[in-house]
Structure formats: structure tokens, C-alpha cells
Chain A
Amino acid sequence: AQKVTQAQTEISVVEKEDVTLDCVYETRDTTYYLFWYKQPPSGELVFLIRRNSFDEQNEISGRYSWNFQKSTSSFNFTITASQVVDSAVYFCALSEAGTGTASKLTFGTGTRLQVTL
């Protein structure tokens, strides 16, 4: 069975600090996909990034970067120079390859990030 663990329930930082959100996953599949979603205070769930299990390249998008390490089953998310607008709950999720029941997306419990001035 697949599982996603976000051990950090809540993180508070001061604006301009860097912050890393941890995500550890479990799966028996050799092919799988990892996702990060953002849920701002307004409540919607916004897709941020997808990573395939066979692509361990790290990715950077502006102030956001993602570190995928199969050896430690981790897919961590770093925000550089955090801003108040980054305050949200961030979810890591896992989907195994294939169709049918393998199409489920398993979410972690989320990390609430609070960025203050």
C-alpha cells in the first residue's frame, strides 16, 4: 500500500527566510509519480509540481525548488526567501502507475506554513 508522510505539522518562519517542507513516501511500485499541492487560506487546492520516479533531476521554479531522492524515498520542497503570500498548507501526494485502482492519489497530512513579517 502506498503512504505519504509529512512529519512537519506546522512551520513558522519570518519573511525572507528559506524553508524546507519534508515529504517521505512508501510504495512497492517501481514506477510512480509525486506531486505537491498548495492550499492557501482561501481554500482551493493548487497543483504545483509533478515528478516521475525515473527522473531524479531536481527542479527549480523561481523561489521554489524540489529535491527528489529515491534512495531515501523523499521529495522535499524548498521555498527560498519566503514571502507572506507563501502562507498556506502544502500537501505532498503519490500516485502509482497504471490504471484502475492504481489511479488513486494518496495525500500526506499536509504542512501548514506561516510566514510572518
Chain B
Amino acid sequence: DAGVIQSPRHEVTEMGQEVTLRCKPISGHDYLFWYRQTMMRGLELLIYFNNNVPIDDSGMPEDRFSAKMPNASFSTLKIQPSEPRDSAVYFCASRGVTANQPQHFGDGTRLSIL
């Protein structure tokens, strides 16, 4: 079975540019999560979706960040405009319907904003 697929694996771009991260969850999973990992703040939940609907976006740092899930097999996290402090590893994870099921993570996107 394919796991969670994220693209790109690495992204290097200049400050001010738009960045789009992509995620394909595991087929049949109802929940999709976006996390950011930095040395300073550890793993932070940015937003999560249930059946393509955003449930909690309280972790989104500011209006420059937006996330969408147009269908059950695809989600994007967009940063516009990007800033150097957005440099981090961004993970996407998906999970089945109940809270006792583990979240399965993609390999992450390592984002560097110059």
C-alpha cells in the first residue's frame, strides 16, 4: 500500500516567492494533518481536515499560510509571500476515522527560504 506522498521533497526559494507544498493521503483515510517541524518549536500542528473540510486551523501562523483540500486524495499548503522564518520541514499525515488509529506521515518537505 502506498503511504502518504508529499512533494516536493526539498524546496529552496527566495524570500517573497509563493511556495506550494502538496500531499496525497493514504486512500480511505478521513483525516489529513499538516505539521511544521523546527529545532526551536518542535512539531507543530498547523491545520487538519476531516472529509476535506478544515476543522481546526488555529495553528496556522499567519495569513500568509493557507491550506486546501479540494478532494479526498489531494491537499496543498501554500505560503505567500514566503519569509526566511518559514524555513522548516513540513509534514503531511493522514489517519482513519477514529482517534485510536495512528497518524501516518509522509517523508516531509524540507523548505528553505533564502
Contact = CB atoms under 8 A, between A and B. Distances in A.
Interface residues of A, number: 25
Interface residues of B, number: 24
Contact of A97 (B99, B104, B107): B99
A102 B99 contact: yes
A44 B102 contact: no
A99 interface: yes
A103 B102 contact: no
B56 A101 contact: yes
Contact of B102 (A35, A99, A107): A35
Contact of A103 (B31, B89, B105, B106): B31
Interface in B26-77: 31, 33, 42-43, 45, 48, 50, 55-56
Nearest to B45: A104
A16 B91 CA distance: 33
Interface string B89-108: 10101010001111111111
Contacts of A47: 102-105
Contacts of B107: 43-44
Contact of A44 (B33, B95, B101, B105): B105
A95 B89 contact: no
Nearest to A107: B43
B110 interface: yes
A52 to B, nearest CB: 6
Contact of B99 (A37, A45, A98, A109): A98
Nearest to A36: B102
Given A45-B105, A52-B100, A103-B55, 13 more contacts: A33-B100, A43-B89, A47-B103, A91-B43, A95-B99, A98-B99, A99-B50, A101-B55, A101-B56, A105-B103, A107-B42, A109-B42, A110-B43
